[in-house]
């Protein structure tokens, strides 16, 4: 049932948002050098590596190659700030949902390296299809601002935020349902707690 909902909603979303995709793509192309999309390897269901697609929100030439970004990061383009603020950079992930690499709701897919830190019971998270949004995504909707206030953002992410996300995602593994998924989607769209 969940997969059917993913296919239906992502198909409708991609068709209805075509004008938005065209506008965003045009602005990205005109406002900064580089491709329209940012494609990155992520760890999916059962540890399968897939290519996640987003609208590019950062510059191409970067001195800082960290996968942890903070609010005010110099790598983020002017239009990229807008895209990230309203989570519009995530819209192309609907293609990943339609393809089956992702779901609308689930744990955010980690980059290789972070998923390797999952041990014991936490590995159950990899049995889930990763999502565009999820309970941990909602809790840390302002993650970049939280990290910007830390002396060592990478350390804070690795020692505080990431372990908490693992706990939240494990709870979702045990308690997920279509009803909860719809509540999370609604909360994501309207920026509310579920």
pTM: 0.89
- Return the pLDDT at 60: 81
Give dist(CA 103, CA 42) in Å, integer: 14
3-class DSSP state for residue 67?
Answer: coil
DSSP output for 95-112: HHHHHTS-EEESPPPPPT
pLDDT (tens digit, 0 to 9) for every residue of the chain, 194 residues total? 899 999 999 999 999 999 999 999 999 999 999 999 999 999 999 999 999 999 999 998 755 555 566 566 778 999 999 999 999 999 999 999 999 999 999 999 999 988 888 999 999 999 999 999 999 999 998 888 888 888 898 899 999 999 999 999 999 999 999 999 999 999 998 877 65
CA distances from 145 to 73, 102, 140, 186 (A): 10, 26, 10, 23
Q: Would you tell me how many other CB atoms lie within 10 Å of the CB of residue 173?
A: 17
pLDDT tens figures, 24-65: 999 999 999 999 999 999 999 999 999 999 999 999 875 555
| Residue 49 · residue 96 · CB < 8 Å | no
Q: Which residue has the tokens 């719809």?
A: 182
């Amino acid at each position: 049932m969940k997969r059917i909902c993913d296919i239906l909603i992502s198909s409708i979303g991609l068709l209805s948002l075509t004008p938005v995709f065209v506008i965003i793509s045009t602005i990205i192309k005109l406002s900064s050098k580089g491709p329209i999309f940012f494609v990155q390897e992520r760890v999916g269901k059962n540890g399968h590596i897939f290519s996640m697609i987003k609208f590019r929100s950062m510059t191409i030439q970067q001195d800082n190659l960290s996968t942890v970004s903070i609010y005010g990061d110099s790598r983020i383009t002017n239009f990229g700030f807008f895209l990230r603020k309203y989570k519009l950079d995530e819209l192309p992930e609907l293609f990943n949902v339609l393809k089956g690499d992702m779901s609308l709701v689930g744990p955010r897919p980690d980059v290789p390296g972070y998923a390797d830190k999952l041990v014991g019971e936490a590995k159950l998270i990899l049995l889930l299809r990763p999502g565009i949004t999820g309970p941990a995504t909602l809790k840390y909707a302002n993650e970049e601002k939280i990290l910007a206030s830390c002396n060592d953002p990478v350390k804070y992410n690795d020692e505080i935020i990431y372990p908490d996300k693992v706990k939240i995602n494990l709870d979702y593994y045990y308690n997920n349902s279509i009803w909860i998924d719809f509540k999370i989607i609604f909360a994501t769209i309207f920026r509310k707690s579920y």
